[in-house]
A and B are shown apart, each in its own frame.
Chain A
Amino acid sequence: MAALLLLAMLVIKLLHLDGNWRLLLLTFGTIIVLRYAFWRTTSTLPPVHELADFVPGLILYLAEMYCICMLFLSLFVVLRPLPPRPSIRLGKDDPVPTVDIFIPTYNEDYDLLAGTLAAAKAIDYPADRMTVWLLDDGGTEAKRNSADADAAATAQERYQQLQQLCDELGCRYLTRALNEHAKAGNLNNGLAHSSGEYVAVFDADHAPARDFLQETVPYFARDQRLFLVQTPHFFLNPDPLERNLRTFEVMPSENEMFYGIIQRGLDRWNAAFFCGSAALLRREALAVTNGFAGRSITEDCETAIELHSKGWNSIYVDKPLVAGLQPATFASFIGQRTRWAQGMMQIMLFSFPLFKPGLKLVQRLAYLSSTMFWLFPLPRMIFLFAPFCYLFFDLQIFTASAGEFTAYTLTYFIVNLVMQNSLFGRWRWPWISELYEYIQSVHLLGALLSVLRNPTKPTFKVTAKDENVDVSRLSELSRPFYLIFLLLIAALAMTFYKFTTEPYQAEVTLVVGGWNVFNLILAGCALGVVSERREQRSSRRVAVERRCEIQDAQGEWVRGTIIDVSSGGLAIRVPNAAGLGRGAPTLVRFTPLSQTETTELSVFVRSTTPEGKGTVLGARYMPKRGQDYRLIADLLYANSANWQQRQRSRQVNIGLIRGTARFLALAVYQTGRGLGYLMRFGSGRTSSHE
C-alpha cells in the first residue's frame, strides 16, 4: 500500500504536476507519515519498566514526533503560498507620505555605512518626503565616556567621522546616551526623534535598491490596518557554508527558502513577520506597542506578533530590494543564529503563539511553526546520538525488526524527502537542510538550553558582517565537529564489530549502522564547513554592463564599459590600456541612475588584462568624500532586477536523485578537505585559541 502511494507520489513529482496534483501528492504523503506516526506510537516504544531503554526511547520518539509536527506545520504554512505580488509604483496623483529611513549601527565600519547611507539616499522618492537617519549605537555618550580610554577615543572618533559623513550625504546622525535595549532601543530612539508616517529599517549592511519605497509605500494606502511590508534579504556574499563548500553560485542560498516560499506562505495566513531589516512599517501601528518590542533579543518577530495580535496586518513582497552581507566566518554565522534561536525561544516562552490572545487560529499555527522551528537542534542532536545507544550501550530504544523498520521507517523517510523536495525543491536542495541544521545544532543546543534555564539572560549581540577570512584556517568553533566525527567513526567500527560477533542481531545492527553512516556523511560534510577557505569579501563581483568614460594617462576621456563591480572596486573594458598601468590613479565617470552632485569617481588601476581586442582594467575605488559613495552605491545597488535574476538562476529543483548524488560527492570531498585542514592547521589552532 505504502509502496503504491509512494509510486503515485513519485509519478506526480516526475511529471511536475501542479495545482491539485500537488495537493494530492501531499495528501498521500500525509497518509504515510500518519501511518508511520501511528505505528511508531503503538508498536515501537520500549517497555516502561526497562528504564534504561525507555527513557532514551521516549526522547527519540518525542524528537521524531517534533519533526512530524513541524512537517505538518510547515505543510500548513506552505500549502499554497501566495504568488509573488506584481511590481507596483506610486501613481502620479497618489499622496506621497513622509518616510523615515532608519539605519541602526553599532560597530560597522565607515565604508560599509557610507555605502548603505549612499544607497538609501539614492532611493527613488521625493527628497523632501524622505529622511535618512543613521542611528549610531557605537557613538553613544556612554561609549564616548567609557572608562577604557582607548575605547572612548575610538567611539569619539567614530562619532565625529560619521557625523561628517552624514553631513556630506545629507543624512541625519542620531545617537543616544545609553545603549539600552540594544537594537530595539536604538530604533525607538529614532522613532522618538522623527515624525514620518512610515519607517523603513535597514541594517547597516543592507543597502536598499532605488525602487524600495516605490515597491512598498503604495500598499499602505490600500489597507489602513497594514503595519508592515517586509521584503526579502538578498545577500551579495556567500555564508560560510556556501563559501567553504563553494556552492554559492550554483545552489540556492539558505535564506532563499525562507524568503522564497515560507514568507509567502505566511503571507497567505497574514502572518508574514518583520525580519529586522528591509521592511517598511507604519508609525501609527508602532505607537500602539510603544515602538519596537525589546523583551526578546529578536525584537523584529516580537513586534510583529504583538501587532498581529492587536489586529494589524502584514504583507510580504517577494522581490529583493536590499543587498546585504552574510556573516563571513563560521563563528559569526553561529553567533547570528544563536541570537535568532534564542530570541525565538524567548518568544515561545514569553508569549507562546498557540495561546496568544488576539491572533487568529491560522496565525497562531503560522507563528508556532516559525518559533518552533528553532527547536531543531534538540532532535538533530538526538538523531545524531541515538545510534550510539544501541551501538555502544546495547540499549533497545526502538523496538522493531529490520523488516518493520524497512516497511515503516524507510517509506516514511523517503516520503518525507519527497514531500520536502516537492515543497521546497526549488529553494533547498536535498540534504542541505540537514547539513545546515547539523552545523548549527552543535553550538545552538547549549544556547537553547541556556534560554530555558534563564529566559531573560541572553543579550543582543551584533553579528559581525565585515570580517574577512584572510588565510585558510580552521574555525575556532571547529573542535566539537571533529570530536563528533571521531565518535561516529568509532561507532562505524563498532557496527562492523557487532555485525561479525553478534550474528543474531545482524539485521538490527545493519539498520542502526546505516543510520550512523548517514550521520557520518553529514558530519563529514560539516568538517568542510568549519574549514574556512581564504577569501576577500570585497572580491565578490556583481556583473553589470554600464557605459563609462575613463581618463587616460594624458587626461583624455576614453570610452569603456563597466563589466563588473564589487564593494571594493570595479572592472572596466576599454579598447586599449590607454597608457594606464598598475597603481595609476585616475577618474571614471558615468551617468548615475539617481541624482548625484558629481559623476566622477576616483579610482586607481590595480591590474590590466588583455581580453580579445581590448583590455580589462581592474580598479579600486578611492572614495574621498561622502558623495563618492553615492556613485559606488549607484553602481552596486541601483538595479534590483539584477539581483532577482541572480537568485532565479540558482533556484532550480535538481531533484532527489541528482541532489543526493551531489550531496554524497560533496560530503566525500569535504570530509577529505576537513581532515586535510585539521592536519595543516589543527595544531596551530589549538595553540592560538587556548
Chain B
Amino acid sequence: MNRVVLAGALLIGLALPAMAQPLPFDMSPESDLVVPVPAPQVPQPSAAPEAPSVAVPAAFRRYLFPGGEVRLEGEQSRQAVVVYLTEAQAAAEASLHFAYVNALVVAPEFSQLDVRVNGTNLTMTPIASSAGPAELVVAVPPGVLRSGANVVDFRASQRHRTDCSIQSTYELWTELSGAWLSFAGEGLGAVRTLADLGAVGTGENGTTTLRIKRNGFADPAARSTLLRAVQQVAIALRAPAINIELVDTLSAEAQAGTLDLVVTPVSGLEGEFSPLAPQAATTPTAVMMPMASGANTLVLSGPNWESIGRAGDALLSAAPATAERPRTDLALPYPLMLGGQSVELGDLGVDTVEFNGRRFTATSQFELPADFYAYRYGTLDLVLDAAFSADVQPGSEIDIFTNGQIASATPLLRTDGGMLRDTVIRIPMTNLRPGRNVVDISVSLVTESDGVCSAGWTGRAPVRFVFSDSTQLRLPQYARAAALPDLRVLTGSGWPYADAPAAPLAVGADEESLLSAMLFLSRVATASGRILPVSVIDQAELSPEQDALLIMPFDAVSGQFAGQTGLVLPQARSADASNREALEQFSEGRPGNAPWTAPAEWLAQRVGMELSDLRVAPAHDAPFPLPARAAVLSQVMQPEGGLWTVLTAQNGGDMLDGTRAMMQTERWRQMAGRVSTMAPGDAEVITVATDNPVIVSTQPFSFDNVRLVAANWFSGNAVYFTAAIIVVAILLMFSTSVLLSHVGRRE
C-alpha cells in the first residue's frame, strides 16, 4: 500500500510540470471547468532518487464499496456501485480485485457470482468459498471503463445445497469485501479537474474524507462560505457520507479517498498556493491544486469570503448531482415521481428475470417530493407483469415492502392461468416518505416439485417464474402539503431550507459546533442533492417568524431560545429514584398500561388505525428531555411561523460524536418525527413522532389538492372525520325534513 501511494505521489510529481497554462476562471458549464492552474514550482519528492519509478510496476487502486463491504443475500441478489474515473484512469489497463466468502449451505454447482462493469460481463464464477475468503482478480477489457461514472454490478444467484423450502433461502449469503480496481500506469491517482472530483473515491474502509485546513473561520461570512462550500464539495464527491476533519496541515502524501480542502480569501494563499493569488485577487477561483505531496487538494479562493461562495458554485456546475452522475452507492435510477405518474421497473434498473428458485426478489427506488402528504391513506399500484409455470401452486405470495416495512401481502389464489398481466397490487402509502423511497418485491413460490425436493432440485428446477421489466409502479394523484415539523423532509429533501434564498443558521462558536454543522449540512446535501443556502448569524438575531437552524451544544443556547427548541435539560435525579422507577415499570409490565389498552390496540391494529388516530384533542408536543451522550436533532414549528431545526447535545463532544454516528445512510434514513437522537453506540435512531403537526401549503390552491390533503388529515383524525360526517348528516336531515314538509301531500 505504502509503496503504491508513494509511487503515485511520485508520478503526480513528475507529471505536474507538463500542466497547462493558466486560464482565466470561467464558470460556464461548457468549458471543461478546469481550473486555472499556474505552473507550480514543485519540489522533487524526496523519495524519487531512491525509488526510480521505472523500477516498480506502478499500480493505483480505486476502492469500490462506499460502505466497505457488500452482502448479497437470498437466491437472487444484486448490488451495484458507481465508481468515478478520470480520463487517465479509464484509459489505463485495469483489473478488478475482490474477495468473497459465502455461507456453507450455498451449493457451488448451482450458485454463481456475476460481475458486470458498465453492462459488460467480466466474470461468472461459481460461489464456492465457504471456508474462507477467496480472492479473485479479473482483467477489465479495454474500452469497458470510461471517464466519469462507471457502474460495477455484482449479482449473485445462489441456491441451497439441500433444502427446497422458502425459509432456507434466508440462509443464503455471500459477502464481498476488499474490492478495488487496479490501474497500471503512473500518476493515475491525480484528480485534475473539478468535474472529476468524484474520482477522489473512497478509502479502503469505504469512507471519503474531506480534510479542511483550519483558517480561523471565525466571522459569520467565513463560516457561511465554508458551510456552503462543504455542501458543494460533498455533492461533487458523489459519496453518500463525507467524513470531515479540520486540520492544521495538509496531507503529507496522497491517500485514497481523501481530499484536502483549502478555503481562504486571497490573503491566505501562501506557500504552495501563492501562484493562485493573482487570479484569486480578482475573481472567484476553484482549483484542483497539484501539490508536491501528491495529495488531491481543492482550493477555493477569491478576493473576499463572499466571492469564494461563487467559486463554490462552480463546483456544482462542474460536478452536478444529476441522473447521469449518481451517488456512488445509488447506481440505479430513482426518478422523482409526481402524482399520476407511472414508471416501468425496467427504467428503474430492474431486469426481466427467468427464475427457477423459490423466492424472487427485486428492488427499485423512486423519489417523492418534500411535500408528499399522503402517508395515511391511499395506495400506490404495482402493475405486475409476470408469468409462472404449472408447477407453481396457490399459496404462493407476492410481498411488497416499502422502505423496509411490509406493505402488502398478496397470495396467489389461482395459478392455473400462468399469467399475471396487468395485475394490480395495491400498496398502502403508509411508509412512503418525502425523498428517496425503496420498494422491495419478494415473490415466494410454493411449488409441487419443491415439496418433493429431490437431490439437486434447488438448482436444477426448470424456470418457474418470469418477472417482466414492464411491471409498473403507478402513483395516484396524491396530496401535496407539508406537515411540519418533520425531520424526514429535511434529511431527505433539505426542505424547506433548500428552497429559501437564505437559511439563517446560528452555529456555536466552538469548533465542534462548526464540524457538526459541516457534517450535518453535507449529509443533507448528499441525501437530497441540494444545498441549504445557510447564512451564519448570531444567535441573538434569530427570529421566530423565520425558518432557521441552530447548531450548538445545549448550554450554549441562550435562555431566551432554549424554550423554543422543543428540548429541555433532564432534571437531575438521584440514581435511587430512577432505579425505583425502573423497578416499578418492570413490575407493571409497561408504563401507563390501562387494562383496556391491549384489546383496544389489538382492535385498532386489525382495522389499520392507531389509538392516537382516535384522539379528540391532539397531544401537546411536550419538550423532549435531552439524553446524555447523544446528538439530538429537533424541529419545532414556532407559533410565529418559523420552522426551527436544532442540532444539539449536552456538550460539544457528544454533539460531534452523535452527528458522526447519524451519517451512516441506514441511520440517516431513520431520522424522522420532531426529535431524533443518536449516540455513537446506538444501533438505531430514537425518534419522537410529531403529535401536533402544522399543515403548510406548498402548492397553488386547487380544490383537488385540498380534497386530498383533507383526506389525509381526516385519516389521522378519525374522530373529526366522524364528527364532520355527522354534522353533514344532520344538515342533510334538516334539509330533507324541510323539503319533505314542502313537497308531496301533507294531511
**What are the residues of chain A within 8 A of B582 when measuring CB–CB?**
none
Q: Whole-angstrom distance from the CB of B454 to the nearest CB of chain A?
A: 24
Mark each residue of chain A from 1 to 28: 1 if its CB lies under 8 Å from any CB of chain B, else 0.
1001100100000000000100110011
Mark each residue of chain B from 712 to 747: 1 if its CB lies under 8 Å from any CB of chain A, else 0.
000000100110011001101110110010011111
Closest to B730 in A: A24
Are A1 and B718 also in contact (CB < 8 A) when A270-B745, A505-B394 are? yes
> Is B737 within 8 A of A20, CB to CB?
yes
Does A593 have its Cβ within 8 Å of any Cβ on chain B?
no
**What are the residues of chain A within 8 A of B411 when measuring CB–CB?**
504-505
> Is A8 within 8 A of B422, CB to CB?
no
Are A502 and B733 also in contact (CB < 8 A) when A5-B725, A396-B413 are? no
Alpha-carbon separation in the docked complex, A79 to B744 (Å): 11
Does B18 have its Cβ within 8 Å of any Cβ on chain A?
no
Alpha-carbon separation in the docked complex, A355 to B726 (Å): 35
> Is A362 within 8 A of B395, CB to CB?
no
Does A589 have its Cβ within 8 Å of any Cβ on chain B?
no
> Is B729 within 8 A of A31, CB to CB?
yes
Alpha-carbon separation in the docked complex, A5 to B721 (Å): 11
**What are the residues of chain A within 8 A of B414 when measuring CB–CB?**
394, 396
**What are the residues of chain B within 8 A of A269 when measuring CB–CB?**
744-745
> Is B733 within 8 A of A24, CB to CB?
yes
Are A267 and B726 also in contact (CB < 8 A) when A407-B607, A505-B394 are? no
Are A4 and B722 also in contact (CB < 8 A) when A49-B421, A505-B411 are? yes
**What are the residues of chain A within 8 A of B394 when measuring CB–CB?**
502, 504-505
Closest to B426 in A: A43
Question: How big is the A interface, by class?
Answer: 20 to 34
Does A503 have its Cβ within 8 Å of any Cβ on chain B?
yes
Does A82 have its Cβ within 8 Å of any Cβ on chain B?
yes
> Is A267 within 8 A of B722, CB to CB?
no
Set A8, A20, A268, A396: member contacting B726, Cβ < 8 A:
A8
Closest to B379 in A: A43
Does A113 have its Cβ within 8 Å of any Cβ on chain B?
no
Closest to B409 in A: A401
> Is B747 within 8 A of A85, CB to CB?
yes
Alpha-carbon separation in the docked complex, A582 to B726 (Å): 71
Closest to A502 in B: B394
> Is B721 within 8 A of A362, CB to CB?
no
A311-338 residues with Cβ-Cβ distance < 8 A to B are none
Closest to A3 in B: B607
Closest to B729 in A: A27
Alpha-carbon separation in the docked complex, A83 to B744 (Å): 13
Set B422, B745, B747: member contacting A47, Cβ < 8 A:
B422
Does A358 have its Cβ within 8 Å of any Cβ on chain B?
no
**What are the residues of chain B within 8 A of A504 when measuring CB–CB?**
394-395, 397, 411, 413
Does B698 have its Cβ within 8 Å of any Cβ on chain A?
no
Mark each residue of chain A from 256 to 273: 1 if its CB lies under 8 Å from any CB of chain B, else 0.
000000000001111000
Alpha-carbon separation in the docked complex, A504 to B399 (Å): 14
> Is A505 within 8 A of B733, CB to CB?
no
Q: Whole-angstrom distance from the CB of A492 to the nearest CB of chain B?
A: 20
Are A80 and B422 also in contact (CB < 8 A) when A27-B729, A503-B395 are? no
Q: Whole-angstrom distance from the CB of B358 to the nearest CB of chain A?
A: 15
> Is B395 within 8 A of A49, CB to CB?
no
The B interface is mostly helix, strand or loop, or mixed, namely mixed
**What are the residues of chain B within 8 A of A503 when measuring CB–CB?**
395
Q: Whole-angstrom distance from the CB of A367 to the nearest CB of chain B?
A: 15
Mark each residue of chain A from 478 to 510: 1 if its CB lies under 8 Å from any CB of chain B, else 0.
000000000000000000000000111100100
Does B423 have its Cβ within 8 Å of any Cβ on chain A?
yes
Alpha-carbon separation in the docked complex, A603 to B116 (Å): 111
Mark each residue of chain A from 501 to 545: 1 if its CB lies under 8 Å from any CB of chain B, else 0.
011110010000000000000000000000000000000000000
Are A362 and B744 also in contact (CB < 8 A) when A20-B734, A396-B413, A403-B606 are? yes
Does B424 have its Cβ within 8 Å of any Cβ on chain A?
yes
Mark each residue of chain A from 365 to 397: 1 if its CB lies under 8 Å from any CB of chain B, else 0.
000000000000000000000000000001010
Set B421, B730, B740, B745: member contacting A79, Cβ < 8 A:
B740
Mark each residue of chain A from 161 to 184: 1 if its CB lies under 8 Å from any CB of chain B, else 0.
000000000000000000000000
Q: Whole-angstrom distance from the CB of B36 to the nearest CB of chain A?
A: 63
Alpha-carbon separation in the docked complex, A8 to B726 (Å): 10
> Is A27 within 8 A of B732, CB to CB?
yes
Q: Whole-angstrom distance from the CB of A402 to the nearest CB of chain B?
A: 11
Alpha-carbon separation in the docked complex, A65 to B501 (Å): 56
Alpha-carbon separation in the docked complex, A403 to B394 (Å): 20
Alpha-carbon separation in the docked complex, A502 to B725 (Å): 41
Are A79 and B413 also in contact (CB < 8 A) when A1-B725, A268-B744, A268-B745 are? no
Q: Whole-angstrom distance from the CB of B136 to the nearest CB of chain A?
A: 42
> Is B747 within 8 A of A1, CB to CB?
no
> Is A82 within 8 A of B736, CB to CB?
no
Q: Whole-angstrom distance from the CB of A223 to the nearest CB of chain B?
A: 11
Closest to A35 in B: B725
Q: Whole-angstrom distance from the CB of B549 to the nearest CB of chain A?
A: 40
Set A1, A8, A28, A80: member contacting B740, Cβ < 8 A:
A80
> Is A28 within 8 A of B413, CB to CB?
no
Q: Whole-angstrom distance from the CB of A595 to the nearest CB of chain B?
A: 34
Closest to A79 in B: B740
A43-60 residues with Cβ-Cβ distance < 8 A to B are 47, 49-50
Closest to B740 in A: A80
Alpha-carbon separation in the docked complex, A70 to B395 (Å): 39
**Which of A24, A31, A82 has the most C-beta atoms of chain B within 10 angstroms of its own C-beta?**
A24
Are A27 and B733 also in contact (CB < 8 A) when A503-B395, A505-B411, A505-B413 are? yes
Closest to A271 in B: B744
A333-368 residues with Cβ-Cβ distance < 8 A to B are 362
**What are the residues of chain B within 8 A of A80 when measuring CB–CB?**
740, 744
Closest to A267 in B: B745
Q: Whole-angstrom distance from the CB of A645 to the nearest CB of chain B?
A: 23
> Is A49 within 8 A of B422, CB to CB?
yes
Q: Whole-angstrom distance from the CB of B376 to the nearest CB of chain A?
A: 14
B379-423 residues with Cβ-Cβ distance < 8 A to A are 394-395, 397, 411, 413-414, 417, 421-423
Alpha-carbon separation in the docked complex, A85 to B745 (Å): 12
Closest to A265 in B: B744
**What are the residues of chain A within 8 A of B746 when measuring CB–CB?**
82
Q: Whole-angstrom distance from the CB of A359 to the nearest CB of chain B?
A: 14
Alpha-carbon separation in the docked complex, A195 to B607 (Å): 71
B254-297 residues with Cβ-Cβ distance < 8 A to A are none
Alpha-carbon separation in the docked complex, A1 to B608 (Å): 13
Closest to B741 in A: A80
Q: Whole-angstrom distance from the CB of A106 to the nearest CB of chain B?
A: 36
Alpha-carbon separation in the docked complex, A49 to B419 (Å): 11
Set B395, B421, B747: member contacting A82, Cβ < 8 A:
B747
Q: Whole-angstrom distance from the CB of B507 to the nearest CB of chain A?
A: 48
**Which of A27, A49, A268 has the most C-beta atoms of chain B within 10 angstroms of its own C-beta?**
A27
Alpha-carbon separation in the docked complex, A394 to B412 (Å): 12
**What are the residues of chain B within 8 A of A4 when measuring CB–CB?**
722
Q: Whole-angstrom distance from the CB of B628 to the nearest CB of chain A?
A: 44
> Is A23 within 8 A of B733, CB to CB?
yes
> Is A27 within 8 A of B413, CB to CB?
no
Residues on A facing B (Cβ under 8 Å): 1, 4-5, 8, 20, 23-24, 27-28, 31, 47, 49-50, 79-80, 82-83, 85, 267-270, 362, 394, 396, 403, 407, 502-505, 508
24 A-B pairs with CB atoms under 8 Å apart are A1-B718, A1-B725, A5-B729, A20-B734, A20-B737, A23-B736, A28-B726, A31-B729, A49-B421, A79-B740, A80-B744, A82-B746, A85-B747, A268-B745, A269-B744, A269-B745, A270-B744, A394-B414, A396-B414, A502-B394, A503-B395, A504-B394, A504-B395, A504-B397
Other A-B pairs beyond A5-B725, A50-B417, 18, CB < 8 Å? A1-B718, A1-B722, A1-B725, A5-B729, A24-B729, A24-B733, A27-B729, A27-B732, A27-B736, A28-B729, A31-B725, A49-B422, A268-B745, A269-B744, A362-B744, A394-B414, A396-B413, A505-B411
Residues on B facing A (Cβ under 8 Å): 394-395, 397, 411, 413-414, 417, 421-424, 606-607, 718, 721-722, 725-726, 729-730, 732-734, 736-737, 740, 743-747
